[in-house]
Amino acid sequence: MKTIEFSGKTGICKILLGRSFSELGDFCAVDRAVLVVDENVFRHHEKKLAGYPVIIVEPGEKNKCLATVDRIYERFLDLNVDRSSMVIGVGGGITCDITGFAASTFMRGIPFAFAPTTLLALVDASVGGKNGVNYHGYKNLVGTFNQPGLVLTDFSFLGTLPHEELKNGFAEVVKHALIGNGPLFDHLEEEWRAVTSLDYGKIEEVVSHSLAVKIGIVSLDETEKGERRKLNFGHTVGHAIEKATGYSHGEAVSVGMVAAAKLSELKGTLGTDDVNRIERLLRGFHLPTRLPEDKEAIIEALSRDKKREGDDIHFVLLEGIGRATIERITIAELREVLRDLC
């Protein structure tokens, strides 16, 4: 049971690792708590969440929209939610993002917290203060930067997750190791079996180091002006793969990280041995490391990346395992590399 405190522009965020959801009352005024819960999570964990007023949100990216936020505002009114309340998002990244946005804009901001129920949300969406919803097909186009006051991680939620969903989290943990913590990478090489079999002690250890990387980067650049771009490692190609194929986020990012590693190798900043180590670890987590067949569709999706600036894109490369660097490369160069990559 570890506690990490992170002081952002918008306030202090306290992250409690390896707690039980039933301890919530030790950290906030539960008589004013309202839960916003993913429907699937509610079905699996109804008992654990009993006793609180609950707002159910339907799962899935298509429900991450303003209409869902509107329904949450309505329920806030029904439940007399105000600035003395504590809204707690219980679910994966989508639930956290929606809850954070609704709470950050209701009455110009009311207190909120997260109890992430997926490994991905635990190491990613629940920490860093980004929230929001999709708009007209653009991911997270509407949102704010605002830290939750509290993140309570109860690993027992992970027990009901399908392995496919866990893989999304493993990919992000590997990413954090690669961009900011070499020893964590070594550790994952030794412990990936225990981690994949959900040994909660190992999970806590890995999650706490993984979060430390994210928090370190976010602290330097809360509103994404430079340093924070490092968190995008593997995601430029990854997002294109996700759009163009049926790959899950974790699978797409895994391949994206291999592509970025190979580009780093080409640029001479990463050794071939390290590229091989990266591929091997990802395979340990049952994550793919090869580009799908239809490369042209991926290259096409890359050309439409909304983060590009003119013909350039900020691309995150590795300077060894544990150290990332941001370079502007041209879309043309990236295309070339992808065509050559197996």
Could you list the residues that contact a second copy (CB under 8 A)? 9-10, 66, 70, 73-74, 77, 101, 104-109, 130, 132, 135-136, 138, 140-145, 223-224
Smallest separation, CB 198 to a second copy (Å): 33
| Contacts with 198 (C-beta within 8 Å, 6 or more apart), sequence order | 155, 158, 159, 166
Strand partners, 54: 35
Of 128 and 288, CB closest to a second copy? 128
Smallest separation, CB 144 to a second copy (Å): 6
Of 80 and 272, CB closest to a second copy? 80
Smallest separation, CB 79 to a second copy (Å): 14
Of 141 and 332, CB closest to a second copy? 141
- Cα 148 from Cα 10, distance rounded (Å): 9
Smallest separation, CB 70 to a second copy (Å): 7
Which amino acid makes up residue 88? I
Of 106 and 247, CB closest to a second copy? 106
- Cα 215 from Cα 145, distance rounded (Å): 14
258, 278 contact by CB (below 8 A): yes
* Burial environment of residue 193 by CB neighbours within 10 A (0 to 12, 13 to 18, 19 or more): exposed
Of 11 and 182, CB closest to a second copy? 11
Smallest separation, CB 221 to a second copy (Å): 13
Smallest separation, CB 240 to a second copy (Å): 20
- Cα 64 from Cα 141, distance rounded (Å): 11
Question: How many CB atoms sit inside 10 A of residue 296's CB?
Answer: 12
Per-residue CA distances from 190 to 89, 175, 195, 253 (Å): 34, 16, 10, 22
Of 30 and 107, CB closest to a second copy? 107
Per-residue CA distances from 229 to 110, 139, 169, 224 (Å): 28, 17, 19, 7
